[in-house]
Amino acid sequence: MPEPDWLAYTGAITGIIGAVAGVAGAITACIALRRTKELKALDLRLELRRMEGTLQSDIQDLIPLLERAKTSYTRLAAAQGKFGSGATEEWISQWEADIAEARELVAGSTVLDIDCTGFSQAALEARLVTVHKLQNQVGKFAQKYQDSLAVDCHGREQLRADQRALMQAREGKH
């Protein structure tokens, strides 16, 4: 039994509709992919700007932190009568190496002022990794000298306690 003509036309029409829908779907997918890449790049740029801003602030705070730590350490060492000791000389020697490296970081922080709007996604990712490594390096310096300040604070408290005990002992002898 032969097929009716309308059935042949229906198959051809649905085939054309399917092909058009497939092409439209492919075009939509391409547009969505491009848009997703643009949004990903925008997210990377925003993250990079945020990290660079934080890094610049941390770098600018680094030298004053190291200076405060040195002042605190040397004053405490002098108060404890340990200023000329080998431990103090070693600490100051390490501090001098660290301050030189910190100054290099400060001088190199001008690299952070680059406009990244034209960077590719791969370039943005590479720059993020670099900024993250610098942030870790600055964080380690900062933590080292914040810890040093905390130790000095404890040392000052101990020195005050020793002084109070000495004064109480003297007052008790009179």
d(CA 79, CA 59): 31
Q: How many helices (H) and strands (E) does the chain have?
A: 3, 0
What is the pLDDT at residue 168? 84
Quote the tokens at residue 10: 């229906």
Give pLDDT < 50 ranges for the chain. Answer: none
Quote the tokens at residue 115: 């406009």
Asked if residues 37 and 121 have their Cβ atoms less than 8 Å apart, the reply is yes
* C-alpha closest to that of 59 among 134, 149, 145: 134
Asked if residues 48 and 124 have their Cβ atoms less than 8 Å apart, the reply is yes
pTM value is 0.70
* C-alpha closest to that of 73 among 158, 155, 168: 155
Asked if residues 134 and 105 have their Cβ atoms less than 8 Å apart, the reply is yes
What is the pLDDT at residue 112? 73
Amino acid at 25: G
Amino acid at 112: L
